[in-house]
Every structure is written in structure tokens, then in C-alpha cells.
Amino acid sequence: MSGRSKNSSPPAFHTYLAGFRGPSGDPVCEEECAGPLHIRQYTGEFWTSRQRQASSLHEISYRACFKPQLPGFFIDLLTRKCDIIYDPFSGRGTTAIEAGLRGRKVIANDANPLSRVLAEPRFTPPTVRDVAERLETIPRDGDRADRDLSMFYHPDTEREIVALRRYLLGRKEDGTADTVDRWIAMVATNRLTGHSSGFFSVYTLPPNQAVSPRSQERINRKRNQVPEYRDTHRRIVHKTKSLVGGLSLEDYANLSRVAPDARFLTGDARSTPGIPSGAVRLTVTSPPFLDIVQYREDNWLRCWFCGLDEDAIGHTITMARTIADWETVMGAVFFELFRITAPGGYVAFEVGEVRKKTVRLEEHVIPLGISAGFRCEGVLINQQNFSKTSHIWGVGNNRSGTNTNRIVIFSKSS
């Protein structure tokens, strides 16, 4: 990264990249992309796999989340202390957490209220001792759940989960929930199911993919497994140690400074009246990618634990089935982003190749941003091995699913 002071004005996008050298010392490959829009492409090693061990505070599983180094790169590049960073599709809160760790002000939005459950508590991390002492006051002996969860949990584990759920929902309802309660709720929500002994459940899919009860029964039969008892309180303490273990004094200071003003909205990214016009210096986001991620099905158990209506939430989450529908939604999002972006501000819009490269979303995103009033600065592609023959519509890494290394950069005139 550059050697400029943290509080100095960030350089212009093109000026910075012109002198950029990646970890291997190679320069950025800049070229005009194929296609009618003549957009510039910047290909290089902007962050590497060796740098992917970011802050321990990020280690909360959620579908379709990008690596913290992605927002971190743009936050360092395009902002300074106290600038407002925004993510309209916040998910697990990667952009928000990375901004907070860097001392930037934060606004996060997501249609799914689980996003706030997972992100907000990490701005006020308690001590491991505080968590352990609070858990000692919470009864373990609850009833069985109001739905059949026997394929996931030992009966005693299930009773502990139900007792913890009752306590947390009760504290939330009567207004007595504090930062320690919210932290415990966040950690427990993340520990409900997974494929290691650190989770509450028997072996199942990774924790960002909650299978249905029927699918779990098939997994149990195939693996010849029966849910064993898992001490939920001990696992919450262990995960807490993992999350806060890598935090520095500077991290704590930055989070403490920005936490009081951090905002976590739950709503439609096309209409955010609570955000003043021209307030946001940088948006870093990754939008819902057509119909490839089933957010509703993946989060049904988390919604139950948090007392949320998964059916109602499912209707609010954008799952466009066609490019035309997706463009309609994202076009409106871009108009709202233009309203709230400060003059001289930026949008870093992560896109991907979906449906086995038959759909390349940057081809559709660039015109949407321009129509809203933005200038497209180019497409940044992070890859460790690149050549001058690669072009915007055909980079070969991550050939299926989504490609988290392709980011369209927009700016708003000063």
C-alpha cells in the first residue's frame, strides 16, 4: 500500500493504480477492455492468499461473503479516518467490520435482519470472562423445541439451545439485553450447525448452508451418525476466545470510537431515507446474484433461534430470476447510491460470473451505474497470475459460481 498518512487526502483512483506494485513487485496491467463501452481494466495482485488471514473478528460464516481484504483495499485506497463507509447488502457485515477496524464511520443495510444480529455485536466485543460469567447465570434445562430438531441435536443439547433462546428473546423483549447478551446471541446463532465439533449440531454441511431436516436425516443415515451431546455454553466461550483473540489495542480503540454512531439498517436498498444525501464517501458491496444463493433456505434455523419469521424475510430478499428483473432492482439501487454518495466519493461494486460464465454481471452493472449519474473508473481484477491478453469479459479464474475478484469502480463528480 502507499506510504501516505492515514489522515491525508486519498489520491485519485487512476493516480494510485499507476504506481501500484503488488506483493510480488509486479505492476498493474492496464488496458482498454473489449466491448462497446471502452472501460479501463486494471489487473494485478492487489491482495494475496497469504493475506487472507484477516482480523479474527471476521470469522462468522454467511453465504456469499467476500474476503475482508477486498473492502480493506478500497477503504485504505479511497478514504481517510472518519469518512462514512456503506454497504447496502451487508450480509455478515464484512465491509462494516473492516471499516470499523480502520476507524471509519459505518452504515450497513440488509433486507435480512439476521445481518444486524451478526454484525452489530462485533463493534462492542466483551471480554471472554464477561461472556463466561453471563452464561453461568443462564439456565441450561429448557423444554424441547417447538419443531423437530432431533436430527441435528442430542436431546440435552436441544434443551440448552431452547433455554438460551428463551433467555435471549426475553431480554430483548423487555429491553434489558446488553452488549454481552447480544454478543452471546451472535455467537450462538453462528454455532447452531456445522461440520466440526465446535458447533452445537451433529456433523452437517458448513455453517453457511443450513440443510432441511429431511436432508439432515439422509446425512445421518449415510454417515451412520447419531447426535451426541454438545456443551453449548463451552462452545460459545471457545468461539468468543477465537473471535477476540487477534484484536489489538488499536482495533479495540477504533471499534469503541465508531460504535456509538454505527448504523445498522434493515430494509430495501432502493430506498434509504435515513441516510442523508451526499453523506457516504465509499460504498463497498456485493449484491444478490440472481438466483444462485438461497438465503432464505440457508437461514431457516438461524431465524427460528432469533425469533424471526423466515417466510416474511424470504419475501423481502431480492432473488431475481431473470437479468431484466435483476437490472430493474439494481438500477434503482444505483440511483439511491448516487443520492447518498458524497461529491468525489466512490462505489466499489463486486460482481461475478454466474451460471457457468453465461452471465457476466459487469456487462449489465456498468450501464446501470452510468445511467444513475456515476462515472465508471474501470474494472479492477485481483488475480495472482495475469497476462496482458486477459480482458474484461473472459478472465479464467474461478470458472464456476461467482468470481469475487472482479470489482466495478464508480465515482461521483466533485
Q: Is 233 among the domain residues?
A: yes
Q: What local confidence, expressed as pLDDT, does residue 43 receive?
A: 84
> Residue 387 is part of a domain; what is its CATH number?
3.40.50.150
In this predicted model, what pLDDT tens digit does every residue of 151-163 receive, in sequence order? 999 999 999 999 9
Q: Are residues 292 and 400 in the same domain?
A: yes
Q: What local confidence, expressed as pLDDT, does residue 121 receive?
A: 98
In this predicted model, what pLDDT tens digit does every residue of 59-74 receive, in sequence order? 988 766 788 999 999 9
Q: Is 5 among the domain residues?
A: no
Task: Identify the weakest region by mean pLDDT among 80-89, 131-140, 309-318, 351-360.
Answer: 351-360
Q: What local confidence, expressed as pLDDT, does residue 50 receive?
A: 53
Average pLDDT over residues 101-124: 96
**Element (DSSP H or E) covering residue 133:** helix 128-136
In this predicted model, what pLDDT tens digit does every residue of 32-44 receive, in sequence order? 665 566 788 888 8
Question: Could you say which of 216, 243, 270 is where a domain stops?
Answer: 243
Q: Is 120 among the domain residues?
A: no
Beta-carbon contacts of residue 228 (< 8 Å; ≥ 6 apart): 154, 202
Beta-sheet strand order (sheet of 406-411): 29-32, 40-44, 375-382, 406-411, 341-351, 280-285, 84-87, 105-109, 263-265
Q: Are residues 291 and 203 in the same domain?
A: no
- The Cα 233–Cα 231 span in angstroms is 6
Domain limits at 79? 13-114+258-296+310-411
Q: What local confidence, expressed as pLDDT, does residue 354 receive?
A: 56
Show the cell assigned to 397: 479464474
Helix, strand, or coil here: 27? strand
Question: Could you say which of 220, 243, 266 is where a domain stops?
Answer: 243
Q: What local confidence, expressed as pLDDT, does residue 384 receive?
A: 52
Q: What local confidence, expressed as pLDDT, does residue 387 receive?
A: 42
- The Cα 270–Cα 243 span in angstroms is 33
Predicted confidence (pLDDT) at residue 261 exceeds the cutoff of 60: yes
Q: What local confidence, expressed as pLDDT, does residue 328 receive?
A: 93
Show the cell assigned to 129: 470472562
Q: Are residues 86 and 186 in the same domain?
A: no
Q: Is 266 among the domain residues?
A: yes
Higher pLDDT, 224 or 394: 224
Predicted confidence (pLDDT) at residue 287 exceeds the cutoff of 60: yes
Q: How confident is the model at residue 13 (pLDDT cuts 50, 70, 90)?
A: confident
% of the chain at pLDDT higher than 70: 82
Q: Are residues 70 and 134 in the same domain?
A: no
Q: What local confidence, expressed as pLDDT, does residue 386 receive?
A: 40
Q: Which of 288, 277, 295, 404 has the alpha carbon at shortest distance from 352?
A: 404
Task: End-to-end CA distance of the chain: give it in Å, rounded.
Answer: 25
In this predicted model, what pLDDT tens digit does every residue of 335-356 receive, in sequence order? 999 999 999 999 999 986 555 5
Q: What local confidence, expressed as pLDDT, does residue 396 receive?
A: 43
Q: Are residues 279 and 392 in the same domain?
A: yes
Q: Is 332 among the domain residues?
A: yes
Q: Are residues 43 and 177 in the same domain?
A: no
Q: Are residues 344 and 397 in the same domain?
A: yes
Average pLDDT over residues 199-207: 90
Average pLDDT over residues 287-314: 78
Q: Are residues 263 and 403 in the same domain?
A: yes
Q: Are residues 23 and 168 in the same domain?
A: no
SS3 of 333-366: HHHHHHHHEEEEEEEEEEECEECCCCEECHHHHH
Q: Are residues 78 and 139 in the same domain?
A: no
Q: Are residues 140 and 96 in the same domain?
A: no
Contact 243, 57 (CB under 8 A): yes
- The Cα 161–Cα 164 span in angstroms is 5
Q: Is 43 among the domain residues?
A: yes
Q: Are residues 400 and 354 in the same domain?
A: yes
Look at the chain and report how many structural domains it folds into. Answer: 2
Helix, strand, or coil here: 62? coil
Helix axes 155-173, 179-190, angle to 10 degrees: 140
Q: How many CB atoms neighbour CB 98 within 10 A?
A: 28
Q: Is 369 among the domain residues?
A: yes
Sequence-ordered alpha helix ranges (H) in 300-346: 300-305, 310-316, 323-340
Average pLDDT over residues 188-203: 95
Q: Which of 402, 403, 404 has the alpha carbon at shortest distance from 292?
A: 402
Q: How confident is the model at residue 358 (pLDDT cuts 50, 70, 90)?
A: low
Q: What local confidence, expressed as pLDDT, does residue 209 receive?
A: 72
Q: Is 221 among the domain residues?
A: yes
